[in-house]
Structure 1
Amino acid sequence: MAEKHIDDVSGVETTGHEWDGIRELNNPMPRWWVWTFYVTILWAVGYAIAYPAIPMLTSATKGYLGYSTRAELQQDLDQAKAGQAKFHEMIATKTVEEIDADATLREFAIAGGASAFKNNCAPCHGSGASGGPGFPNLNDDDWLWGGDLQSIQTTIAHGIRFDADTDTHVSEMPAFGETLDATQTNQVAAYVWGLTNTPSDSALAEAGKQIFLDNCAACHGEDAKGKVEMGAPNLADAIWLKAKGEEAIARQVASPKHGVMPAWAGRLGDTTVKELTVFVHSLGGGK
């Protein structure tokens, strides 16, 4: 029988395994740890028998207890939907003005509208509805097509320049690059910028005033405060949607960009559109 080798440093017997001059100490795991490990194996086997656990080709084992977290979640969702049904029925039969006047319905509609907004509107208007370049901020009091409840509902339901909806809002700013030369374009851009800021050249801005009255006032108004019925933005409130600065305004005048908003009535249904309307109106900018 070979003599057991004892490690000189630790005084522990080695297993006899050696690699590159390194010997393995014979330090077995404590028995309590080993038995605990065996218990976890038994627990895992029992769990696999009691609950859905083993994947099959098209499904999984159902488990002896038949418990399913998905089924439990679905049950909770069904209960929640049943509780919401009466509110949805009331919203479906009431106008947005009536919903907004009812404190309970208004609270429910705002909650539902906030959820629908995050799923459908946030990609363009932002999660906080603050908008971005080319996408309106829905928190302020600057509205292209009106900020009262009925106007907001119409805009959400039918969209803007959405060809698939015959009732969509339609208005387009002409490309004045075809009728105004570069000097005139720069003059009117300086005038518009000068309504809320200091223009680069006051003489240029002064010359642009008449050009504005001759070409732009029909839609934006002589005071440049816009016309809601035409979707023409207010140019005198320092809120810029498509262009900011004289050069950007000049480009917009010469070759304007036009945004498109989908019509949501067909996608979301009348009830969700009403909830979105009340939610958007509640953000603070609704009239």
Structure 2
Amino acid sequence: MSEKHIDEISGVETTGHEWDGIRELNNPMPRWWVWTFYMTIVWAIGYTIAYPAWPLLKENTKGLLGYSSRAEVAAELGDAKAAQSVYLEKIASMPLAEIVADPALAQFATAGGAAAFKVNCSPCHGSGAQGGAGYPNLNDDDWLWGGDLEAIHTTLAHGIRYEGDPDTRVSEMPAFADILDAEQIKQVAAYVVSLTGTPADAAMVEPGKTVFAENCASCHGEDAKGGRDFGAPNLADAIWLRVSDEAGIAQQVAGPKHGVMPAWGARLGDATVKQLAVYVHSLGGGE
């Protein structure tokens, strides 16, 4: 065993380590630090006894105090629901016009509708309600079935072409490939494009206008601005749900695609549907 080395200046024993002539003193830890360290060990042991901590084969130790973070969260959620129930009861019993006329209720309904929208509607309409091909943009003022509160609420509650709801909104555009010949379909497509743009063949516009008047105006209107009684889109505003090019329009005329929207009334309840209506109306409803 090597002989112990004592530092000449401090008189303290060194550890035996030396770097470039510098020796490490073997000073003990301060007593206050040592006792603090021991106290933390005791505290940790006591904590694991008092609270859930140690994992077992199928569960964990429950702790002497019986604390549960799940129970705490459940209690907080219960308190939140109790606080919300006052507003939800009012929303369920009040007409939409009265809800938006009450600033506190309108704010609550808009926030609740935004949350419900993110969970139920954003997969189709997008997180910002901007829509996409086949899914309408809810931020503009272009509405197939009307953009006032009641119209939006009806659409949300009963859906569109949803077989599970007898009161669903229904509109069916015929497959004109069974009614018109290929040349007439190209003509009417050229006319529809001419309403907002330039068709490939301007000579087809006038005969296309005639085809439109005889076959399409009954739903879309003589001015092609649509009809909300039928859910017929406005063809003269350059806002397109599915297609915007001439070939796509011709294809839609020949064999139209019809979208389906679920009826949310039975799934979510009237209070939530009303909140959704208030929120969606705040985005772009202006009627």
Bin for the TM-score computed over the shorter chain: 0.7 to 0.9
| Counterparts in 2 of 1:7 and 1:74: CA distance versus 1, 3 Å | closer
User: Aligned equivalents of 1:133 and 1:40: distance in 2?
Assistant: 62
Is the 2:149–2:277 Cα contact (8 Å) retained in structure 1?
yes
* Greater shift in the superposed pair: 50-59 or 177-186: 50-59
Is the 2:146–2:228 Cα contact (8 Å) retained in structure 1?
yes
Provide the residue aligned with 2:98 in structure 1.
98
| Counterparts in 2 of 1:253 and 1:37: CA distance versus 1, 3 Å | farther
Is the 1:191–1:199 Cα contact (8 Å) retained in structure 2?
yes
TM-score by length of 2: 0.85
Residues 143-179 of structure 1, C-alpha deviations (whole Å, 9 max, x = no match): 1111111111111000000001000011111111112
| Counterparts in 2 of 1:38 and 1:203: CA distance versus 1, 3 Å | farther
User: Aligned equivalents of 1:190 and 1:165: distance in 2?
Assistant: 37
One-letter amino acid of the counterpart of residue 264, structure 1:
W
Provide the residue aligned with 1:130 in structure 2.
130
**Structure 2 gap segments, 5+ residues each:** 3-15
Q: In the TM superposition, what are the counterparts of 1:16-55 in structure 2 within 5 Å?
A: 44-55=44-55
User: Aligned equivalents of 1:57 and 1:280: distance in 2?
Assistant: 50
User: Aligned equivalents of 1:214 and 1:39: distance in 2?
Assistant: 92
One-letter amino acid of the counterpart of residue 239, structure 1:
I
1:211 correspondence with 2:196: no
Is the 1:280–1:286 Cα contact (8 Å) retained in structure 2?
no
Q: In the TM superposition, what are the counterparts of 1:100-249 in structure 2 within 5 Å?
A: 100-249=100-249
One-letter amino acid of the counterpart of residue 224, structure 1:
A
Provide the residue aligned with 2:285 in structure 1.
285
Residues 121-156 of structure 1, C-alpha deviations (whole Å, 9 max, x = no match): 111111111111100111111111111111111110
| Counterparts in 2 of 1:182 and 1:39: CA distance versus 1, 3 Å | farther
One-letter amino acid of the counterpart of residue 181, structure 1:
D
Shift of residue 182, structure 1, vs aligned partner: 1.8
* Greater shift in the superposed pair: 250-259 or 176-185: 176-185
Residues 182-206 of structure 1, C-alpha deviations (whole Å, 9 max, x = no match): 2211111111111111212211222
User: Aligned equivalents of 1:58 and 1:155: distance in 2?
Assistant: 49
Provide the residue aligned with 1:72 in structure 2.
72
Is the 2:148–2:285 Cα contact (8 Å) retained in structure 1?
no
Provide the residue aligned with 2:8 in structure 1.
none
* Greater shift in the superposed pair: 57-66 or 107-116: 57-66
SS at structure 2 position matched to 1:180: coil
SS at structure 2 position matched to 1:274: helix
Provide the residue aligned with 1:25 in structure 2.
none
SS at structure 1 position matched to 2:145: coil
Shift of residue 58, structure 1, vs aligned partner: 4.5
One-letter amino acid of the counterpart of residue 161, structure 1:
R
Shift of residue 73, structure 1, vs aligned partner: 2.0
Shift of residue 262, structure 1, vs aligned partner: 0.4
The number of residues matched between the two structures is: 272
| Counterparts in 2 of 1:31 and 1:206: CA distance versus 1, 3 Å | farther
1:88 correspondence with 2:55: no
One-letter amino acid of the counterpart of residue 147, structure 2:
G
Shift of residue 7, structure 1, vs aligned partner: 11
Residues 83-129 of structure 1, C-alpha deviations (whole Å, 9 max, x = no match): 11111111111111111122221111111111111110111111111
User: Aligned equivalents of 1:41 and 1:205: distance in 2?
Assistant: 88
SS at structure 2 position matched to 1:164: coil
SS at structure 1 position matched to 2:284: coil
Shift of residue 250, structure 1, vs aligned partner: 0.8
SS at structure 2 position matched to 1:92: helix
State percent identity of aligned pairs: 63
Shift of residue 67, structure 1, vs aligned partner: 2.6
User: Aligned equivalents of 1:268 and 1:57: distance in 2?
Assistant: 40
Is the 1:125–1:136 Cα contact (8 Å) retained in structure 2?
yes
SS at structure 2 position matched to 1:133: coil
SS at structure 1 position matched to 2:229: helix
